[in-house]
């Protein structure tokens, strides 16, 4: 019995040490937050139109996770227009990240089934052969872009939890 208890204790310790802990972290003082597997250190920048941009990236188990949160200087009241701005921003990022292949934007996503949000999904490949999965969100006042990329196969379950974890202020 003693041996069985010791084996069970070691097994449980091993299982829990391998579990992925995900933590909710604020995106600086934006009011937005994200659930993440690793530590983000957000830098604050300004876009060409003077919108406030928070950026960070971290690496966990060979996968790079990134967050870009933009507080729009000129919010969009119309969600269709907001979604178009989101797509335009993703086009800009594709160039910045040197993306050479794209599956094409998948539209129609809603963050937590909230009809006041719009989301866009895409799969990319960069010139270093990294595979990317990105998901971008907007509610008209903010744009949140979450991405994961790696040269190794992405764990879809873990990546999806991260990509769906963006939270707008008050949501």
Angstrom distances, CA of residue 122 to CA of 23, 24, 86: 25, 24, 12
- Residue 44: count other Cβ atoms within 10 Å of its Cβ: 12
> How far is the C-alpha of 67 from the C-alpha of 11, rounded, in Å?
35
> pLDDT (tens digit, 9 = 90+) per residue, 23-58?
999 999 999 999 999 999 999 999 999 999 999 999
> How far is the C-alpha of 87 from the C-alpha of 67, rounded, in Å?
16
> pLDDT (tens digit, 9 = 90+) per residue, 72-124?
999 999 999 999 999 999 999 999 999 999 999 999 999 999 999 999 999 99
> pLDDT (tens digit, 9 = 90+) per residue, 117-171?
999 999 999 999 999 999 999 999 999 999 999 999 999 999 999 999 999 998 8
Confidence of residue 20 (pLDDT cuts 50, 70, 90): low
Q: Residue 123: helix, strand or coil by DSSP?
A: strand
Across the strands, what pairs with 58?
65
Task: For the chain, state the CA radius of gyration.
Answer: 18
Whether the per-residue pLDDT at 12 is higher than 50: the answer is no
């Amino acid at each position: 019995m003693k041996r069985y208890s010791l084996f069970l204790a070691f097994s449980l310790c091993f299982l829990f040490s391998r579990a992925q802990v995900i933590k909710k972290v604020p995106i600086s003082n934006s009011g937005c937050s994200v659930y993440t597997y690793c530590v983000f250190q957000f830098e604050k920048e300004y876009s060409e139109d003077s919108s406030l941009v928070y950026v960070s990236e971290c690496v966990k188990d060979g996968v790079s996770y990134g967050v870009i949160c933009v507080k729009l200087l000129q919010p969009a009241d119309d969600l269709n227009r907001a979604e178009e701005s989101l797509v335009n921003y993703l086009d800009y990022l594709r160039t910045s990240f040197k993306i050479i292949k794209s599956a094409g934007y998948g539209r129609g996503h809603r963050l937590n089934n909230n009809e006041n949000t719009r989301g866009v999904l895409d799969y990319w490949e960069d010139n270093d052969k990294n595979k990317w999965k990105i998901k971008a969100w907007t509610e008209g006042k903010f744009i949140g872009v979450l991405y994961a990329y790696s040269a190794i196969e992405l764990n879809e379950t873990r990546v999806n939890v991260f990509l769906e974890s963006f939270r707008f202020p008050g949501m």
